[in-house]
Structure 1
Amino acid sequence: MANVIDPVCRHADTTPDNIALRGADSTLTYRELQIASTTYAAALQAADISPGDRVLLAAPSVPEFVVAYLAIQAAGGVVVPVNTMSTRPETEYVLNDAGVSLAIVWHELGPAASQAAAALDIPVRTLTPNIVALEGDPTAVVDRDSEDTAAILYTSGTTGRPKGAELTVGNLLSGGEIGAECSRGSSEDRTGTGLPLFHVFGQASVMMATFTGGGSLSLLARFDPSAMLEVLRRDRLTIMAGVPTMWNAMLHAASDAEPQDFEQLRIAISGGASLPGEVAREFEARFGCTILEGYGLTETTAFGTFNDIDRGGKIGYTGRAVPRMEVKVRDHSGNHCPPDTVGEVFVKGPTVMRGYWNRPADTAAVLSPDGWLRTGDLGALDSDGDLRIVDRVKDLIIRGGYNVYPSEIEEVLYTHPDIVEAAVIGVPDDHYGEEVAAVVALLPGSRLGGTELTEWTRERLSAYKIPRIVSIVDTLPKGSTGKILKRSIDRAALRTDALTAEVPRKVTP
């Protein structure tokens, strides 16, 4: 029998005075975190929350999120975290789909979550900073089976309504153990992040891994590069975790910094999207630490592959399968692909989800009876067993019969000194089927134009890969983790622009 709060309880017994959490103006030791969580769990039980009940949690990355999350676990409930920017209709959908019994909402959030709960006659508990000093007696932690669902995380997807990935007690505990092993986390480590904890990256790769190793976790409620640099210096972080857009933003914010300013920083963990090689090289030079890229999905509790600390990061690759996990690349017939051959990535191991909540058909479509998860990602394994993610299957551009991988073009675009953000997508084209379009954000003051950028890429890419449609924007749409959301880019508008574009169109593939 087990519970997701077990690592915290273990360290509360062995190292009770060690810092577990650091917020903007507060800290909690492991003993304080255990007491606060189990006391809040008792309050939830008094509100008729029973084992297996689903509880919505809407809060930013603050210590109180962690207390409430662990309290739901201690009470035997199922956490249903939602994006703090979710609209009322989006929240209503999750509340209804998951069959939520209670909504816990951060006191500073807007009315969307509370209104959604009220519309469905679901009680709401307001989450406030005084949760850590809640009066009452702690409850005993509920013993659960490792196969019991502990969290339901809704995946946005590119089509259809979001699906709830059921992560089990065993998934989350295994994720914490694997994460601690990969980062060699210990009680001496001070980990920090600006990632949202309602997302699987922050929740499993960061929070669970930190508590499993017994180190401290510094939280930034909302990512800002200057604020993250302040946390890095203030708490003398040894580990940081983020997505590529965060590292890029920090590079620009720390333009006058030297590697010795961050000499205690051991590693930076990158995930959520492919890490451009140029960003990785500049970050390592500026911050004097190794940036290690990993690969995982919500459906795999954020774990799949990770670059090894001893070998260092292999730029362009997300590393080998993490301990206890298996990763294969298969062709469209299901056969294993030889090294350096692109196919679909499949993952198997203790962090693979139980399935999609109340969606047996969707579950069967991606999860085989023998435990292999079909990821929907295109990738290739090299002779060392390192995985290179090429793109999402659905993001592949087929231009005139040629396969174009957007990530390859984005990698080139990021080497241009004026480009801060870049996204490459396919738009419908009457002649080629699809045309390559690049949407980029530039450094302030840049005079780079679309035609000039197209000509610049002509010297660096094969003719069929050149973006012939270029849109220059102030910033690209991003999700809660900072990951660029390609599905939010208006392809119809780009196609309209292409009809009047001055860039050459008649180029032989």
Structure 2
Amino acid sequence: MHGDLEGCSIPGLVRWAAERYGPREAVVEGRTRVTYAELGDRVERAAAACVAAGVAPGDRVAVWAPNTLDWIVSALGAVTAGAVLVPLNTRFKGAEAAYVLERSRAKLLFITGTFLGTSYVASLRRTGRVLPSLEQVVVLADSAPEDFRTWKEFLAGGDGVPAARVRARADAVDPSGPSDIVFTSGTTGRPKGAVISHAQSLRCYGTWARLAGLREGDRYLIVNPFFHTFGYKAGILACLMRGAVMVPQPVFNVDTVLANVAAERISVLPGPPTLLQSVLDHPARSSYDLSTLRLVVTGAAVVPLRLVERLRGELGVPTVLTAYGLSEASGIVTMCRRGDPDGTVAATSGRPIPGTEVRIEAGEVLVRGHNVMSGYFEDPDGTAEVIDAEGWLHTGDVGSLDEAGNLRITDRIKDMFIVGGFNAYPAEIEQLLGIHPDLLDVAVIGVPDPRLGEVAMAFAVRRPGATLTADDLIAWARREMANYKVPRRVEFLTELPRNASGKVVKGELRARARG
């Protein structure tokens, strides 16, 4: 991180980047091209509108939208007004979004119009959930239902707020105070909000940018969703620190990735292994000029060595890195270094970032350092379960360290599995499936899938007399939960295997799925 960003807040970073990189391109979205100076102005205008709307320092402001310029401006505007950002997963259905809005007591929500054929406004309304803290909803579109406001109307509301007042609000933001709450699912299945500060975010992603070698003028295709720590912080914040160009891509689509890389001369492309594999295997790959790619960052429990070799060999990408992180540790724990051999990049997630420690205790990965969250939002009991008295975060992941200190993740205590780059938590899926009227009992595991890496498989026990079929349950799940959570296979049992303490023996279910 630049020395002059030490002790800075995210509003301070936005202003610093506007002054330092002023005329340089900051964001490209289709035909819209915004410089760093213009981005700074847009963020201040959004912050003024937040102030006019009654957002006070510390209030939670949520954003439920795909990767767009409006996401960047609304999120940074809210944070500049002193708010705490609550990003919502675009795959959520209405009930899932409503839970996070209710739990965080969000005061203001920025919501996309229609995305991928879904009206997010309608899906939120359908829940019928009363959200007493939610005072305003702003639709990031040209039209909105009459009790909501359009983005344009919202911004106009801030025109009477003096620039000096916005500046004062931004200057009053304490770097050690919370900048965002990232909701993740714990083993209980209910999402918990990891509270991360401004100083943590900037220190962690200043380090990420330095280790990755991100530089001024890099053109960065941000496919990783902004609602995810990696998309927002290794994307937006890292670019602001380095003066790189952000090219947000709203949809995870390989044809669009190839078109964007060629048209925008993209040099930096982080993404999950599934995305990179599909780029390499695309039948029309040779018709796109991908020669500008120089930095690829990926991460997963398993990254095939062949993938790393092909990225370097076939695409000529000089730097391919892997990393490991979790929301409770600001999204980053370990990272490979430039110059690491292919075997290290593929088989491990690299070494701890500077200023942090990693150790293995009874097989579990423990982390301590400046990256660890202050705790779960308003949940001291949940916090005490994962952060011990000595400050070690118990990750729930199983791993080992080699002699050089490289971390290898081998399994997940929490049973979490990754579906095409999205973390899926069995306990949460079980809870959602458990409300089906025809089910008595249900357990979920991850099973291998050639396209997505892993997908959910459900083992269910029907109520007596119920005639529910696997297809029925899968169709019902598609209506009730984000697509990546939906079980792709269902097997009905007369009862689930349980141990003496009543816990489901998932090892038996995994063996059954393999058999």
| 3-state secondary structure, aligned to 1:85 | coil
Q: How does 1:201-240 map to 2 (within 5 A)?
A: 201-240=230-269
Deviations 1:361-413 (A, max 9, x none): 110111123322111111111111111111112339xxxxxxxxx99xx9xxx
Contact 1:76 1:144 survives alignment (8 Å): yes
Structure 1 length normalisation: TM-score? 0.74
Contact 2:91 2:483 survives alignment (8 Å): no
Task: Give the corresponding residue for 2:297.
Answer: 269
TM-superposed deviation, 1:118: 7.4
Q: Does 1:88 align with 2:97?
A: no
Contact 2:98 2:129 survives alignment (8 Å): no
Task: Give the corresponding residue for 1:346.
Answer: 366
Task: Give the corresponding residue for 1:22.
Answer: 28
Change (3 A) 1:100 1:440: closer
Return 5+ residue gaps in structure 1 as ranges: 332-342, 397-405, 411-422, 426-433, 444-476, 497-504
Task: Give the corresponding residue for 2:130.
Answer: 119
Task: Give the corresponding residue for 1:419.
Answer: none
Q: How does 1:282-297 map to 2 (within 5 A)?
A: 282-289=310-317, 290-297=319-326
The amino acid across from 2:25 in the alignment is I
Change (3 A) 1:488 1:168: farther
Task: Give the corresponding residue for 1:359.
Answer: 379
TM-superposed deviation, 1:356: 0.5
Contact 2:269 2:295 survives alignment (8 Å): yes
Contact 2:87 2:182 survives alignment (8 Å): yes
TM-superposed deviation, 1:158: 4.9
Taking the aligned partners of 1:437 and 1:493, their CA distance within structure 2 comes to 16
Q: How does 1:31-180 map to 2 (within 5 A)?
A: 31-108=37-114, 109-110=119-120, 111-113=122-124, 119-121=130-132, 122=134, 123-128=136-141, 134-135=155-156, 136=159, 138=163, 139-140=166-167, 141-180=170-209
The amino acid across from 1:371 in the alignment is G
Contact 1:269 1:292 survives alignment (8 Å): yes
Contact 2:68 2:249 survives alignment (8 Å): yes
Change (3 A) 1:200 1:124: same
| 3-state secondary structure, aligned to 1:198 | coil
| 3-state secondary structure, aligned to 1:327 | strand
Q: Does 1:321 align with 2:352?
A: yes
TM-superposed deviation, 1:62: 0.4
Q: Superposition RMSD on alpha carbons, in Å? A: 3.5
The amino acid across from 1:128 in the alignment is A
| 3-state secondary structure, aligned to 2:405 | coil
| 3-state secondary structure, aligned to 2:331 | coil
TM-superposed deviation, 1:53: 0.3
Taking the aligned partners of 2:301 and 2:79, their CA distance within structure 1 comes to 29
Taking the aligned partners of 2:370 and 2:279, their CA distance within structure 1 comes to 34
Taking the aligned partners of 1:115 and 1:106, their CA distance within structure 2 comes to 16
Task: Give the corresponding residue for 1:391.
Answer: 411
TM-superposed deviation, 1:359: 1.0
Task: Give the corresponding residue for 1:304.
Answer: 333
The amino acid across from 1:307 in the alignment is C
Task: Give the corresponding residue for 1:449.
Answer: none
Taking the aligned partners of 2:38 and 2:322, their CA distance within structure 1 comes to 33
Change (3 A) 1:493 1:271: farther
Taking the aligned partners of 2:200 and 2:103, their CA distance within structure 1 comes to 22
TM-superposed deviation, 1:186: 1.9
TM-superposed deviation, 1:264: 2.3
Contact 2:212 2:321 survives alignment (8 Å): no
Taking the aligned partners of 2:204 and 2:322, their CA distance within structure 1 comes to 16
The amino acid across from 2:337 in the alignment is D
Contact 1:24 1:220 survives alignment (8 Å): no
Taking the aligned partners of 2:306 and 2:187, their CA distance within structure 1 comes to 28
Taking the aligned partners of 1:245 and 1:317, their CA distance within structure 2 comes to 17
The amino acid across from 2:404 in the alignment is D
Change (3 A) 1:439 1:2: closer
Change (3 A) 1:243 1:358: same
Taking the aligned partners of 1:7 and 1:190, their CA distance within structure 2 comes to 19
Taking the aligned partners of 1:493 and 1:279, their CA distance within structure 2 comes to 37
Deviations 1:413-465 (A, max 9, x none): xxxxxxxxxx9x9xxxxxxxx9x99543479xxxxxxxxxxxxxxxxxxxxxx
TM-superposed deviation, 1:79: 0.8
Task: Give the corresponding residue for 2:389.
Answer: 369
Identity %: 29
Contact 1:105 1:113 survives alignment (8 Å): no
Deviations 1:88-115 (A, max 9, x none): 2112211111111111112234222356
Which stretch has the larger CA shift, 225-234 or 115-124? 115-124
Change (3 A) 1:484 1:48: closer
Change (3 A) 1:251 1:181: same
Change (3 A) 1:44 1:442: closer
Contact 2:349 2:409 survives alignment (8 Å): yes
Contact 1:86 1:112 survives alignment (8 Å): no
The amino acid across from 2:449 in the alignment is V
Task: Give the corresponding residue for 2:400.
Answer: 380
Taking the aligned partners of 2:447 and 2:111, their CA distance within structure 1 comes to 39
TM-superposed deviation, 1:24: 2.8
Which stretch has the larger CA shift, 136-145 or 362-371? 136-145
TM-superposed deviation, 1:254: 5.5
Which stretch has the larger CA shift, 378-387 or 111-120? 111-120
The amino acid across from 1:271 in the alignment is G
Taking the aligned partners of 1:101 and 1:117, their CA distance within structure 2 comes to 18
Equivalent residue for 1:11, pick from 17, 20, 39: 17
| 3-state secondary structure, aligned to 2:89 | coil
Task: Give the corresponding residue for 2:449.
Answer: 440
TM-superposed deviation, 1:291: 2.2
Q: How many residues align?
A: 419
The amino acid across from 1:266 in the alignment is R
Structure 2 length normalisation: TM-score? 0.73
The amino acid across from 1:440 in the alignment is D
Taking the aligned partners of 1:117 and 1:307, their CA distance within structure 2 comes to 47
Which stretch has the larger CA shift, 36-45 or 363-372? 363-372
Change (3 A) 1:83 1:438: closer
Which stretch has the larger CA shift, 299-308 or 138-147? 138-147
TM-superposed deviation, 1:276: 2.5
Q: Does 1:196 align with 2:207?
A: no
